[in-house]
Amino acid sequence: MLKASQYNFLIETADNQLLLYNSRTSAFAAVPMEFSGDIQYLLANPSRGTGKDEEIIGNLKAGGFLIKPDIDELGEIRKVYDDYKNGGKKIILTMLASEACNFNCPYCFTYDKRGLSMAPWVYNAALEYLQKSVNMESQIKINWFGGEPTLAHDNIISFSNRLNQLASERKLKKPLYTMVTNGYLMTVDKFESYIGAGINIFQITLDGPEAFHNKTRSLPDGRETFRTIWNNLVAIKSVKAKFEMSIRVNFLTDMRQEIYALTDEFASVFGADERFGIYFRPVYNFETKRQNICTMKDSICSMAEGLQMQLEYDLHAMDVLSKYRKKSTMPNPIPRAIPAWCETEKKSSWIVGADGLLFKCDTYIGQKEQAAGKINMAGEIERFQSAYKWDTDIYSAEIEKCIKCKLLPLCQGGCPRLRMDGKKSCHLNEPYLKEILLKAHAAHMNPQLNVQNN
């Protein structure tokens, strides 16, 4: 006995194919339209298949389109979330090594707030906390964040080396490190010292193409930054080490040609080096009083527009990069099931402020009144009353629209902050998902399901 999954999506294409996608398993395949009737019949009547349908049924089972009748799909999706939220094996500290920044971005949520460098006792306290919390099964992940973390270069190297030594003495798994930086100070020397300390996953943000970036991401005295960052990236290419460097490009509605040109330049310079990646995100809000930036507000994308353009740019990047790399090594725009929307949801994940205040969501850093706890010199964490609001989730709060939603595995209820603020937290919707799948199919990104009848 079998039953159809509640998370199936079936879409007919203009080139006479039936697309099958399951949001719980992320399986995605195409079959020739001539099999569409059989497949739809088998999904509606799985027990009525005959011997000749065996292969189709096998494939539908493998993709999770047909499942055993006792499988509680919602229960399984919730379990993935609960395991992520409550699982203590992974301990994540996002360290605000420098809440100060060398840039003067007018919309930045930490800009103009506290401008602190992490106090030496906070590094010690974080190490104490980790010492007390870990065991042989633990995986420590440190995210270096700011402000601008590279302003605290020496402290970052020193902390990472001390943690690496602790891990080696206690025979723990190697700590994982990431860094989000503006890239301006990332010379080859600095980069190599980060690599030497085990930090090997980096994200650098560009505010669109050069002319736009230079308006919003300038130095405090107004000097431009784009070419310095780009030249740093080009120089980093010569480093012979394993690392991941993601370039995040923020965009507005009116920069299509320039985004294409920037992507083409990225492909010609970094295309053959798979350590470098590029992806695109719409700018949704500018909270600034600066007049020259406010005039750009009309170019901010609506959610729907932003998602459309993001997909278009991602597919364009895949297309130009396919001249240099295999498609299988490129980021895939097809949505995948996730354990949670962001690290905020994990109980053993904290953002450690430069003065030892702890936060859950990075958009609140720098706002003392939004702190969710604090760490003391002995490495003990005190959760403030306000921390408990972050424990509420769509399952415990029984948010029916999410629990009944076929997109639930892809978002697990979306951004917790938006939910808490009573705002809509849907990032995807069904028409947009269908469009992604159709475009991905047109770009030959899904396998053909083998359904040859005997």
Query: Angle 224-228-230 (CA atoms, 0-180°, nearest 5)?
Result: 115
Which is nearer to ligand SF4, 180 or 259 (by Cβ)?
A: 180
Q: How far is the CB of 143 from ligand SF4 (least distance, A)?
A: 11
Residue 193 identity (one-letter amino acid): S
Q: Taken in order 263, 268, 271, 273, is the CA torsion positive or negative?
A: negative
Taking alpha carbons only, the member of 145, 136, 127 closest to residue 174 is: 136
Question: Rounded to an integer, what is the distance from CA 449 to the centroid of its chain?
Answer: 29
What is d(CA 96, CA 114) in angstroms, rounded to the nearest whole number? Answer: 11
Residue 274 is given by DSSP the state: T
| Tally of CB atoms within 10 A around 295 | 9
Which is nearer to ligand SF4, 234 or 304 (by Cβ)?
A: 304
Q: How far is the CB of 411 from ligand SF4 (least distance, A)?
A: 4
Which is nearer to ligand SF4, 217 or 419 (by Cβ)?
A: 419
- Tokens 């306000």 belong to residue: 386
| Terminal-residue alpha carbon distance, the chain | 22
Which is nearer to ligand SF4, 193 or 370 (by Cβ)?
A: 370
Residue 16 is given by DSSP the state: S
Q: Taken in order 223, 229, 234, 235, is the CA torsion positive or negative?
A: positive
| Ramachandran category for residue 183: left, alpha or beta (phi over 0 → left; psi -120 to 50 → alpha) | left
Q: How far is the CB of 414 from ligand SF4 (least distance, A)?
A: 4
Q: How far is the CB of 403 from ligand SF4 (least distance, A)?
A: 8
Which is nearer to ligand SF4, 355 or 393 (by Cβ)?
A: 393
The H or E element containing residue 303 is helix 303-321
Q: How far is the CB of 25 from ligand SF4 (least distance, A)?
A: 17
Which is nearer to ligand SF4, 154 or 421 (by Cβ)?
A: 421
Q: How far is the CB of 407 from ligand SF4 (least distance, A)?
A: 4
Q: How far is the CB of 212 from ligand SF4 (least distance, A)?
A: 23
| Nearest 10 degrees: Cα torsion 43, 45, 51, 54 | 20
Q: How far is the CB of 302 from ligand SF4 (least distance, A)?
A: 16
Q: List residues near ligand SF4 by CB under 6 A.
A: 341-342, 344, 361-363, 401-402, 405, 407-408, 411, 413-417, 425-426, 428
Which is nearer to ligand SF4, 127 or 342 (by Cβ)?
A: 342
Strands (E), 287-329: none
Which is nearer to ligand SF4, 116 or 428 (by Cβ)?
A: 428
